[in-house]
Amino acid sequence: TMLPGMTRVLFAMSFDRFLPEKITSVNTRTGAPWVASIIVGIVAIIATVIYSFAGWLSTALGAISLMALGHMFSGFACFQMAFTKPSIWKSGLTYKVGGIPVSSLVVLLTLSWSGFFMLFFTMLEADAFSIAVGAILIGLGMLLYLYYSWKNIKDGFDINKIYGEV
C-alpha cells in the first residue's frame, strides 16, 4: 500500500529540486508520475529480492524500524513547526494547553511512546543483514540530499525557501 504513495514522494522531491527533474514527467492520459512509478517498481523488485534472504521476521522488523525513523523525523518537523513556521501552523489547528501547542504535545507523546518502542525494540530483534541494508539506505538518502542541496545552492536557489514557497 505504500508503493503508490512513494511515487508521489519521488515526484515531490524532484519538483522541489532534490531529485532529477525527469522524475516529474506526468502521463497526459492518467495524470500519474510515470517515471517515478517505474523507479518505485524497479526498487520494489530489487528490495523484494534482497529482503528474501533476510527472512520474513527480519524484513518486517527492519521495515517497521525504517518507517519509525521516518515518522520520527516527520514528528520532529511537526513538533517545531509552531515555533519556527508559525504562518503554516496558524493555518491548521492552533489550540494550546498551558501556552504549548497541542500539536507539539501530541507529537511529543507519539515520539516518546511509539517511536521509541518501534525503532529501538524492533532493532533488537533484527539481524545484522537487515540493519546493514537499512543503514545503507539511510546513508544513500543522506548523500542524495547533500548532493542536491549543494547543487541547488550552486545553481543559486535558496534551499530554505524551496519548501516554504512550494
The predicted pLDDT at position 154 comes to 92
Query: To 10 degrees, the CA torsion angle through 6, 7, 12, 13?
Result: 70
Distance between CA 50 and CA 75 in Å, rounded?
A: 29
Q: Is the pTM of this model over 0.75?
A: no
Beta-bridge partner residues of 145: none
**pLDDT per residue as tens digits for the range 69-95:** 666 667 777 777 788 878 877 887 788
Distance between CA 3 and CA 137 in Å, rounded?
A: 16
**pLDDT per residue as tens digits for the range 25-70:** 888 888 888 888 888 888 888 877 777 776 666 666 666 666 666 6
